[in-house]
């Protein structure tokens, strides 16, 4: 690996004046080259089940920009799909499951289906053979996967799931335990295939106020405890004031969303990644350049900082502005 700046930062040991950078959803619909590949597939799962295509989509942003990490092109919903859910992605609506717990359907927990995830491991191996930066493997948190299985789609309000959890805490925990067991195998498979570090996306953790440690963090901690301690693990707990739980976890890095105040975190013994509003890239060129300069000035002395966004790059972002930002950061980093 030629460039391990990202791994050094994850270990809080980035002693160089260098700000490592990568972006959530750095591949995807804001890139015309992604849209060209996507147009060849009617079904998103058919696309991500083709390792050569996952590899190509992972490499697309690395060819265009100077980035310090790659993230395997896949999705967090591979796990529920492998457990027997039929999932389609509908334009403008997002993922839709054929069955959902809220409709009275039983949770799909067909553990045998796990073998289907070999396509992700094959993609991981292929990507790893073609890059010289660290590769990030990933999965959804058990709680976030539960939310999708419960609603069968991205939820709009949370009353129903809160009611279910309050009425059936033990059944909820059984389902979460099954997701945890499968996720551990899945993440270990990605490590065996070559991933250098892992990110867990707890995209719906923020809806759990008091219950966060009991229904989400506990299972993420079980995952952390089961994975080789040498492998850094990053947690993205969207909408959650994760600082409140700093002492309740051995996670190596928090990916902060844009509503957090990064200054509250940066002096703590943990790596901090994220926090930039992706829409900041759509400002005037001078402001985009100033953003890169401010970040370098503020954080290049930190041994535990990774430049990233607080939520994924969306299709409305101009890739040229993203490029402008990265170019300026690269110049500052190489001084």
User: What is the contact surface with ligand CP3 in residues (CB under 6 A)?
Assistant: 24-29, 38, 44, 71, 73-77, 89, 94-95, 138, 154, 201, 203, 238, 312
Q: What's the rounded Cα separation, in Å, for the pair 108 and 105?
A: 8
Answer whether 328's CB lies under 8 Å from 42's CB: no
DSSP percent split of the chain into helix, strand, coil, nearest 5: 50, 10, 40
Closest distance of CB 322 from ligand CP3, Å: 12
For ligand CP3, the closer CB: 45 or 299: 45
Q: What's the rounded Cα separation, in Å, for the pair 185 and 168?
A: 27
Residue 75 annotated as catalytic: yes
The catalytic residue among 6, 18, 148, 179 is 148
- Buried-state track 40-76, b at ≥16 Cβ within 10 A, e below 16: eeeebbebbbbbebbbbbbbbbbebbebbbbbbbbbb
Planar angle of CA 329, 139, 158, nearest 5 degrees = 100
For ligand CP3, the closer CB: 94 or 229: 94
Q: What's the rounded Cα separation, in Å, for the pair 19 and 315?
A: 25
Closest distance of CB 140 from ligand CP3, Å: 6
Residue 38 annotated as catalytic: yes
For ligand CP3, the closer CB: 9 or 79: 79
Residues whose CB falls within 8 Å of the CB of residue 269, separated by 6 or more in sequence, listed in order = 12, 304
Residue 328 annotated as catalytic: no
C-alpha dihedral, 270 to 273 to 277 to 282, nearest 10°: 150
Answer whether 53's CB lies under 8 Å from 117's CB: no
Closest distance of CB 32 from ligand CP3, Å: 13
Residues whose CB falls within 8 Å of the CB of residue 212, separated by 6 or more in sequence, listed in order = 205, 240, 245
For ligand CP3, the closer CB: 149 or 300: 149
Closest distance of CB 23 from ligand CP3, Å: 7
Answer whether 184's CB lies under 8 Å from 191's CB: no
Cα within 13 Å of Cα(194), Cβ side: 20
Q: What's the rounded Cα separation, in Å, for the pair 145 and 85?
A: 12
The catalytic residue among 68, 75, 196, 257 is 75
- What residue number has its CB nearest to ligand CP3? 203
Answer whether 104's CB lies under 8 Å from 146's CB: no
Closest distance of CB 167 from ligand CP3, Å: 25
For ligand CP3, the closer CB: 77 or 300: 77
For ligand CP3, the closer CB: 138 or 296: 138
For ligand CP3, the closer CB: 29 or 162: 29
Closest distance of CB 2 from ligand CP3, Å: 21
Residue 34 backbone phi and psi in degrees, to 5 = -70, -45
State the catalytic residues.
25, 29, 38, 75, 148
């Amino acid at each position: 690996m030629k460039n391990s700046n990202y791994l050094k930062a994850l270990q809080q040991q980035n002693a160089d004046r260098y700000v490592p950078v990568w972006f959530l959803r750095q591949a995807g619909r804001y890139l015309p080259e992604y849209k060209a590949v996507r147009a060849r597939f009617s079904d998103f799962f058919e696309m991500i089940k083709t390792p050569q295509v996952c590899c190509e989509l992972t490499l697309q942003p690395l060819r265009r920009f100077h980035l310090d990490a790659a993230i395997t092109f896949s999705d967090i919903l591979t796990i529920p799909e492998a457990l027997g859910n039929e999932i389609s992605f509908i334009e403008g609506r997002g993922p839709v499951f054929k069955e959902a717990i809220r409709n009275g359907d039983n949770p799909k927990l067909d553990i045998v289906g796990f073998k289907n995830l070999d396509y992700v491991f094959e993609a991981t191996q292929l990507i790893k053979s073609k890059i010289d930066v660290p590769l990030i493997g990933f999965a959804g948190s058990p709680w976030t996967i539960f939310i999708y299985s419960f609603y069968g789609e991205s939820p709009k309000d949370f009353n129903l799931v809160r009611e279910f959890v309050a009425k059936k805490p033990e059944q909820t925990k059984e389902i979460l335990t099954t997701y945890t067991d499968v996720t551990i195998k899945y993440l270990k498979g990605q490590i065996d295939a070559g991933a250098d570090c892992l990110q867990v996306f707890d995209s719906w953790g923020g809806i759990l106020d008091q219950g966060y440690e009991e229904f989400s963090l506990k299972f993420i901690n079980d995952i952390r405890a089961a994975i080789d301690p040498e492998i850094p693990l990053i947690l993205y707990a969207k909408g959650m004031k994760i600082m409140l739980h700093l002492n309740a976890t051995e996670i190596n890095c928090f990916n902060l969303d844009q509503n957090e105040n990064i200054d509250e975190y940066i002096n703590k013994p943990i790596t901090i990644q994220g926090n930039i509003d992706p829409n900041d890239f759509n400002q005037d060129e001078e402001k985009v350049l100033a953003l890169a300069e401010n970040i370098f000035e503020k954080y290049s002395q930190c041994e535990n900082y990774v430049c990233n966004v607080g939520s994924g790059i969306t299709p409305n972002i101009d890739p040229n502005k993203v490029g402008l930002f990265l170019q300026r950061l690269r110049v500052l980093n190489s001084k």
